[in-house]
Amino acid sequence: MTSQRTRDRLIDKLEKLGIKNQDVLRVMRLVPRHLFVDEALSSRSYENTSLPIGHGQTISQPYIVARMTELLLEGEADLENVLEVGTGSAYQAAVLGGLVKNLHTVERILPLYRTARDLLYDLGYRNIWVHHADGTWGWQESAPYDAIMVTAAPNEIPKSLIEQLKIGGRMIIPVGEKKGEQVLQVVIRRSENEHIIKNHESVVFVPFLQEESK
């Protein structure tokens, strides 16, 4: 159920669903998704579905992970400094960690942050820094970023995130209040005061938390 063959089958499916970036497919073939979910769910970890990870949160659907990563890599330059908001299970972070030079990822929920940090360390990732913080404010210490990926849906794009993008940098973010009405957006920062937004497919994400949580 958690063998390389099962994982390969999922990756073949992602390719059939339209994922073209071979680097994304190569890395997703390597990351053991079953280690990012509770053991009780590991037999379902290579299905193309999101799964609960506790605290009302989910590990994203593999197709969405692949699609968002593909959109992030569409810019021409190599990505040296990247921010993810919403570490969750850290699966998306692990996929990004195999593709970019340095990744900072922030998570608001303390137990999820701790599990993610320890798991990434145990798996040998040394280019991913997990932070316990409210991603509404991005992660100023390591800004500006070549790219930002947000894996929870706010009603509006937080201003700080745009400000922490390099000029020419891009952000992938699901935006929208209600489930079923969220759309995946690519934001490209053109200059100090100008950015453009491109809409992609509609998506279903957990809400971006903007108030104090436990």
Interface positions with ligand SAH (CB under 6 A): 57-60, 85-86, 88-89, 91-92, 106-109, 112, 134-136, 151-152, 206, 208-210
Q: Of 164, 159, 162, which Cα lies nearest the Cα of 140?
A: 164
Question: Cβ closer to ligand SAH: 204 or 209?
Answer: 209
In the complex, minimum distance from the CB of residue 70 to ligand SAH, in angstroms, rounded to a whole number: 15
Indicate the residue whose CB is closest to ligand SAH: 88
For residue 97, give the nearest of 63, 74, 65, 75 by alpha carbon.
65
Question: Taking the complex as a whole, how short is the minimal distance between the CB of residue 75 and ligand SAH, in angstroms?
Answer: 20
β 81-85/182-191 pair status: unpaired
Q: How many helices (H) and strands (E) does the chain have?
A: 6, 9
Shortest Å distance, C-beta 9 to ligand SAH: 20
CB of 136 to ligand SAH, least distance (A): 5
Q: List, in order, residues 6 or more apart from 62 with CB less than 8 Å away.
A: 10, 14, 28, 33, 48
The SS3 call for residue 69 is helix
Minimum distance between the CB of residue 135 and ligand SAH, rounded to whole angstroms?
3
Instruction: Please tell me the distance from the alpha carbon of residue 21 to that of residue 53, in angstroms, as a whole number.
Output: 27
Closest of 26, 24, 137 to residue 72, by C-alpha:
24
Q: Which amino acid is at 193?
A: N
Closer CB to ligand SAH, residue 25 or residue 209? 209
Distances (CA, A) of 147 to 2, 6, 11, 27, 172: 32, 31, 24, 18, 8
Residue closer to ligand SAH, measured from CB, 148 or 191: 148
Nearer CB in complex with ligand SAH: 106/187: 106
**CA–CA separation, 132 and 196 (whole Å):** 30
Closer residue to ligand SAH, CB minimum distance, 60 or 191: 60
Q: Which of 42, 60, 89, 142 is catalytic?
A: 60
Annotation says 60 is catalytic: yes
Q: Which residue numbers are catalytic?
A: 60
